[in-house]
Structure 1
């Protein structure tokens, strides 16, 4: 992909449900390029009435889709995966324009999404039941049946990847789905809808853009049987409250304030690179899995700080997201920019030591965008706001540690528990720490990557449920027991 590569912006920007495009009753609003503030045109905003129409269309489609043979559902999913992979460059261009992440990384998102779709296509026959021994003359067995209409609401940091990969387990299990793209970056959702329309029967996969009203209406609708979110902890709490009124299951993949631990015996070159990679500066730190609290043993503390600063300067420099050479994009919006700058100011005021970054870059070519340089604060203490709260931006807190008990107490003192990364050559220590950190996903001498089939999810306020593995597929089914007397 060259720096001059461009595609056409989507021309169809209505609400896609029931296999057709519909003008939104809720109206429209402008979407912009966060790196330049240039308009990318208007996008549809679904209101409660739009949601009702979309859900009813999905419910009608469910009546026949649930009867489609699993092997046919798998075939259609694979066909969609191939189309997503073929259009990876176009999806990357759209997402880099609309959400501000580097185009090179967004191309990887499309490939990952296609692989996830294919993975769940391969699991369609695993929605099977069991036989239960009951003695002579009795047959007792279970069936796994789909739930019905499922609502999936995704975040803005990986728009296409979240939309495309998260539809897969839902429809593989025989449900129909309504996808809500992120309000800040819905453009790739319109292109995905075009591809869906070429593959799936009407109403099986529906994509409607909107804001808070749209999401709330989806969760509240009586025909929606499950809701799943990738988003903030506050939004997750709101969805959980709404679902409680319906006694409806949810899956929530929420925020994180994730630790990366460097022990005194670690391979420091690899550990320092891991600390930089784990912060996900590529996405301007806008990642729930970012290891944004770096705990460094005091014996190597200053060495790590010095080396990490040089590595960050070498590897991550803010640039235009659509340039393939860019290694760090921008924040999604002015509210997010103001939030991140507020964390930086509070860290300064509370006495943290600034190692690098601390504000927007000096490059005049980037002046109109929501850019913040990679920022590192040392000597962060548990009392500081930067230690406790998720920034969702390129700000890393570094904390020295001496003994394991205090380390674990500090790691587990926050309300989040999504990921953790541990760097040591001591195998016993590695497993000991992994067993005691309150996190749902732990890397040892590694960081950041997800692996197909390895289930991902959080403890505490980082969410509930697991994704990216077999249990995600099964979570979109319900179990029926059948008891037969043969006498």
Structure 2
């Protein structure tokens, strides 16, 4: 371990599982190293939950559910606001911890605790809005509906924003009256253990529960008979596995999965802003590890060469891999050796299939980065729709550039993938912008913008990019069911 790379006081003091308002050693006694991707070195060990631990955590959540569901919405909202305040107070050390454990730059992760706190406060404000309606039935009948909480909700979160996803995604189910069991990503569990230390005692025992583990843990959560809904932020294969397991008990799911997202540039786009949007939309800061990255840039033939040249020139200036915990770093490491090898495999297949490497394409030469999972920001041009790079999610720092001429052919290519999460359109013409937005088969569209999320705006995908919407009022309703009550009047 490189102790000088770990700021004092940021590691969690516990190395246990948190459920039922208490800390527990894993039933199997199993612990696993968790890695610093910048050096491929162990930071510490994290507990590995198995099926027995999941059962104990879910039963604790189920035991806490009736009392939590019975609380007035304003009381539940108070708990959420208290948790938000704690997150804001500890934003810097939480960002440092995530940076240490998942390889993303600390300067970018600083926003994560704040956005999660915003989300807790947003759903706290909506807690009293879980309402039903009256339905006219004529004389002699009173008919109304109520929204009821479902029970225990399983939340499985991803490694690219562990703290933010865990803290933000407990907000809606808790506001609606459910209890929650969160599974940390096995690649980067430390910030979620720390989150349990910070906010666990705020809530009544069993209301929020935090587990660490791998596939067995996630599978046990998905199949547990007391879990009423399973949610996942992750890849498509994992989403399919969760959905298949949950289907055995007819459990509903909420899935935010992968993307192969398109950025479309029209001839009249503001080229300076477009270049910045292409670079920013690819999320090179996160080494491309973002499901919403606009990893396919479709440039009209009249601007293609100028824009491509500008991107290739500016990209190395904007994003150069560096040690993630350094505040000056603008691009971090990939989360694991497996992810690094996956990215290298995409580069090899793109070259073999005839794509043209414009920049990057290899690990950086800096000796200080030699042991870590770093990869240069990479751009390929002359990418064709049949290529693997054009169709599969890389989840790494590779941008594919396409040239287009005919708009109908363009949208055939844009929509001819299995994904439909986000899209970005660049034009100064209002008619063009709205027409293009209608033609994109995605759940979320930016016009002259990329990457931003806005609380209140529904985020989610279509096709294999997911099921359901989050970060909005609809997410709150995802964790309720409608009960109809009919009263026969005398």
**Normalised by the shorter chain, which TM-score bucket?**
over 0.9
User: Of residues 20, 23, 37 in structure 1, which corresponds to 2:22?
Assistant: 20
Q: CA deviation at 1:307?
A: 0.4
- How far apart are the structure 1 equivalents of 2:35 and 2:6? 20
The superposition leaves residues 261-285 of structure 1 with CA deviations (integer Å, 9 ceiling, x where unpaired) of: 1111100110111000000000000
Q: CA deviation at 1:334?
A: 0.6
- How far apart are the structure 2 equivalents of 1:350 and 1:302? 21
User: Of residues 172, 183, 189 in structure 1, which corresponds to 2:192?
Assistant: 189
Q: CA deviation at 1:107?
A: 1.1
The superposition leaves residues 53-91 of structure 1 with CA deviations (integer Å, 9 ceiling, x where unpaired) of: 111110000021111110000001000000011000010
Aligned partner of 1:11 in structure 2 is: 13
Contact 1:441/1:456 (<8 A) preserved: yes
User: Of residues 160, 164, 168 in structure 1, which corresponds to 2:167?
Assistant: 164
Aligned partner of 1:200 in structure 2 is: 203
Q: CA deviation at 1:5?
A: 5.1
Aligned partner of 2:389 in structure 1 is: 386
Q: CA deviation at 1:196?
A: 2.0
Pairing 1:169-248 to 2, within 5 Å after superposition = 169-248=172-251
Aligned partner of 2:353 in structure 1 is: 350
Contact 1:173/1:477 (<8 A) preserved: yes
Aligned partner of 1:29 in structure 2 is: 32
Q: CA deviation at 1:311?
A: 1.4
Are 1:327 and 2:316 counterparts?
A: no
- How far apart are the structure 2 equivalents of 1:319 and 1:7? 23
- How far apart are the structure 2 equivalents of 1:213 and 1:114? 30
The superposition leaves residues 78-114 of structure 1 with CA deviations (integer Å, 9 ceiling, x where unpaired) of: 0000001100001001000000000011111111110
Contact 1:113/1:164 (<8 A) preserved: yes
- How far apart are the structure 2 equivalents of 1:341 and 1:6? 35
Aligned partner of 1:148 in structure 2 is: 151
The superposition leaves residues 172-231 of structure 1 with CA deviations (integer Å, 9 ceiling, x where unpaired) of: 100000000100000000111012223100000000000000000000000000000000
Contact 2:135/2:144 (<8 A) preserved: yes
Aligned partner of 1:253 in structure 2 is: 256
The superposition leaves residues 372-404 of structure 1 with CA deviations (integer Å, 9 ceiling, x where unpaired) of: 000000000011100000000000000000010
Q: Provide the TM-score with structure 2 as the length reference.
A: 0.98
Q: What are the ranges of 5 or more consecutive residues in structure 1 without an aligned counterpart?
A: none
Contact 2:283/2:290 (<8 A) preserved: yes
Matched residue count? 485
Contact 1:6/1:93 (<8 A) preserved: no
Q: Provide the TM-score with structure 1 as the length reference.
A: 0.99
The superposition leaves residues 281-313 of structure 1 with CA deviations (integer Å, 9 ceiling, x where unpaired) of: 000000000000000001111101110111111
The superposition leaves residues 406-464 of structure 1 with CA deviations (integer Å, 9 ceiling, x where unpaired) of: 00000010000000000011211111110011000000111110001000000100001
Q: CA deviation at 1:254?
A: 0.2
Q: CA deviation at 1:167?
A: 0.3
Contact 1:420/1:442 (<8 A) preserved: yes
What is the RMSD computed on CA atoms of the aligned residues?
0.9
- How far apart are the structure 1 equivalents of 2:192 and 2:316? 34
- How far apart are the structure 2 equivalents of 1:447 and 1:202? 40
Aligned partner of 2:74 in structure 1 is: 71
User: Of residues 257, 277, 282 in structure 1, which corresponds to 2:280?
Assistant: 277
Contact 1:94/1:187 (<8 A) preserved: yes
User: Of residues 40, 55, 60 in structure 2, which corresponds to 1:57?
Assistant: 60
User: Of residues 362, 365, 368 in structure 2, which corresponds to 1:362?
Assistant: 365
Q: What are the ranges of 5 or more consecutive residues in structure 2 without an aligned counterpart?
A: none
